[in-house]
Each structure stands twice: as C-alpha cells, then as structure tokens.
Structure 1
C-alpha cells in the first residue's frame, strides 16, 4: 500500500470516529456505550424500575516457573579385568640341505630352478685343468615352511560402569 492510500484509510477512520462522538454527544451517552441498557420490568410493582446488569468476563493469566524438584548424581567407575588371549603367531623357517652333486657342467652354469615349494641353487667352483670345465659340486635344496605357534598373552581390558543415584528434596542442600 502506498502512503496516500494509508492516509485515506486513516482519514475515513477519523471521520467515522468523529461521527460516533457527535452522535454520542447528541444522545448524551458516551461513545461505545450501548444505546439502550438492558431492562428488567417487574409486573407486580406499579413503579417500573430500571436495573442495569453488568456483563462480566473472566480472563486467565498463566505463568510458568522452573522449580528444582530433585537432583541426580551420576558417577563412572573404570574396571580393569585381565583376560588370557590365545594369539596365533606366524613365522617362517628355512630348511637348507646340502646335497653333493660333483658333476662338470658344459658351457654355462645352471639357473636357479624350483621343484614344488623347493628352490634349488647350484654352487659352482672353477677348477684349473688343461681344459677348463664347470663342475657342480653340490646343490642347496631350500624349502620354505610356515610354522604357527600359539602363545598366551595377558591383556588388560577396561570396562566402564555407570552409577545413578537420585537425591531427595531433603538431600538437595548437601553437596
């Protein structure tokens, strides 16, 4: 709404208010008062008396406030229990066997070879001869074996316990 339309509405309101005040002054009553009060007529009395009955309305006013009704004390205890835990520990062992071969090799030395889970490495030696030849002296047969042992270790485990204590109204003053 623009300011001009607000002024128009306010002025119309003011006009109506002034009209009601003028009518009230002519009638001799106050603005907002009922034009004619509620009357009770009594037939048995020759004089008629007017009685005004006020209309009453009750209203309620509600307020809230916080009141301490009790307290709760919470405490926590930490317990340590020692338990025995079976822990599997794995390590590897290498088994080395020396196998004598005592063979001469033509041209190049033999490469490392595998037979299943066994690795075979040839150990070489050069010998001085009129003719130089390579002779396999021995072989190393290496087997990888996985061994699992069980060792028992003590381990401390912690556990918390909660205690809740309700305090009565008489106990509120005590810390």
Structure 2
C-alpha cells in the first residue's frame, strides 16, 4: 500500500487493495462497529403495606358423651347351716356371693354359715349433654397502598 492509500484508511481499520485488471485498484476497508452492553440493577421499591390482625370467634356446641356407672344392691340372705370349712367368695352370674361365717361355742366347736351377702352389679348408661364454647381464630389481611403506587 502506498502512503496515499493509508491516508484514506480510518484509524484502527485494516484494509486490502486488489488490482482488478485495467489498472484500477479497489480498496477494501474494514470498519469496527460499536457494541452495546447491558447492565441490570435492582432496587427495592415500597408499593404499599399490609396489616394482619386476628379475629377470635366463639361458637356454642353441645358435647355429647355416654357416662357409665354401676349401681350396687346388697342383699343379706340368712343361712344358719353348719359347715366343715370356710368357703371362698364366688360369682353366680352377675352376683358376687361373700360367705359370712361365725364360730359358735357348743360342747364342741362347729362352723355355722350365718348368712351370705349377695352383691349384684347393674351397669347403667346415662346420656349427658353439656354446652361447650369452642373458639377459632381467623386472620384478616388489609392491604394499604402508598399514594401513586400500583398495587
């Protein structure tokens, strides 16, 4: 390249010359282009506030339950029979029989069954209803926006 050709070449550009025949020289120039880059920044912007409050609600319900209890009746049955040994208590169906013995002084000593105590158990079911206060809590959220801010 000649100095005359360097004069037309931009700074930082590179060029080539080509001879196309008839004595004409075509100059090819490469021109650097500008490149843009992107930078992203974040910032926090308050758009509004919220207020959360709780509300306590009470409702009445009836609690239902079965309550079991036993009623006991006691019956004394006189026997007055002589026995040779002390009998153990036993159950006759739903009845618990407890023998009561006594030693009686005679010319000789003998065991006399004086009575039996009979204990009968009867199971009863009573239905009970009792009002009960049950509470539940709800959260209420109220959004408050700043003037001019989009919510």
TM-score, normalising length: structure 1:
0.63
Name the counterpart of 1:126. Answer: 103
Q: Aligned partners of 2:147 and 2:16: how far apart in 1?
A: 60
Question: Per-residue deviation at 1:156?
Answer: 1.8
Provide structure 2 residue ranges, at least 5 long, that are not aligned to the other structure: 1-10, 18-25
Greater strand fraction, Structure 1 or Structure 2: 2
Deviation of the 1:104 alpha carbon: 1.1
Structure 1 unaligned regions, length at least 5: 1-32, 40-47
Taking structure 1 as reference, are residues 50 and 114 closer, same or farther at Cα in structure 2, changes over 3 Å only?
closer
Corresponding residue of 1:116 = 93
Higher percent of residues as helix: 1
Match of 2:36 among 43, 46, 58: 58
CA–CA distance in 2 between the matches of 1:98 and 1:171? 95
> Given that residues 38 and 53 in structure 1 are in contact (C-alpha distance below 8 angstroms), is that contact kept between their aligned partners in structure 2?
no
Aligned residues: 131
**Which one scores higher on RCO, CA 8 angstroms, separation ≥ 6?**
2
The answer (yes or no) to whether the contact 2:16–2:27 under 8 Å persists in 1 is no
Q: TM-score, normalised by structure 2?
A: 0.72
- Give the superposition deviation at 1:168: 2.2
